[in-house]
Amino acid sequence: MSEKLASSALTEALESLYQDPDIRERSFYPDFRRGWDGVFRAARESGRSYLPEDPKAVYTLEHSWGGVDLELHFDQLKMADWYAREINRRSQAIFVPKKLRRNRAGVLSFHESVCRYEPEAAEPALTDDLKNIIACALPGLPPELAVVYGNKWVNSRFTALKRSSLNLFLLNTDYVPAFLGDPWEVGLYLFLMDCCIVKENFRKVKDEELRPLLHIFRPSPMLVIKGLVKVQT
């Protein structure tokens, strides 16, 4: 994965995003670029893989935004384990319940965000013991949603009495990287989400109010846990 992601085409796509006026003209741009350059450098030097030993647990999702082609690999068994732990804590910090609408054409959406799913996805690691449906947000304006756990159960949730809505869990964006395949995927996912946050909000809020919303400046917990940024003490 890393060889593909570290290609010259990716370098050009990242530079194009850096030079986007909506991003380039922000007062925090120097720190923004310096921070993300450091994340990508750490990812390049890491060479680690977070993929599970069981290849059947990996769900692959392709997505493109801002000239960057993403291939994200989700560990579905890890998602199931984290969900079980969170339910025991009675917390909703990572898996947030949401209700999506389905129109007459069968399209799922949450507000302005369309949610895609693959009803024919094999998902061989999933069992009937935990028939949840979990989705995550993907870079986009507005962000797109995609089901990353339980695709094969989506259609069965629509019955004669319940045709227009779907209950599922939406992953907190901060924690989506906990289930991804390697440091490059972690960095690229959060970088693109930051770019979307800037482009969507810079006309609405001042730079000093926008800066704390970005994953690179808070910083997002997974950037720290994965060793891609260091928190100054």
Tell me the per-residue pLDDT of 29-50, one tens digit each, with 9 for 90 and over. Answer: 999 999 999 999 999 998 899 9
pLDDT band, very low/low/confident/very high, at 164 (cuts 50, 70, 90): confident
On whether the CB atoms of residues 190 and 223 are closer than 8 A, the answer is yes
- List phi, psi (to 5°) of 149: -155, 120
pLDDT surpassing 70 at residue 62: yes
pLDDT surpassing 60 at residue 223: yes
pLDDT surpassing 90 at residue 104: no
Which are the contacts of 111, defined by CB distance < 8 A and separation ≥ 6? 142
pLDDT band, very low/low/confident/very high, at 6 (cuts 50, 70, 90): low
pLDDT tens digits, residue range 75-100? Answer: 999 999 999 888 877 667 899 999 99
Tokens of 68: 């960057």
Percentage of residues in the chain having pLDDT higher than 90:
78
As beta bridge partners, residue 147 has 135
Tokens of 46: 């890491």
- List phi, psi (to 5°) of 61: -130, 125
What value does the mean pLDDT of the chain take?
92
pLDDT surpassing 70 at residue 13: yes
**Average pLDDT of span 122-147:** 94
Which are the contacts of 215, defined by CB distance < 8 A and separation ≥ 6? 173, 174, 190, 193, 194, 223
**Average pLDDT of span 142-148:** 97
pLDDT band, very low/low/confident/very high, at 130 (cuts 50, 70, 90): confident
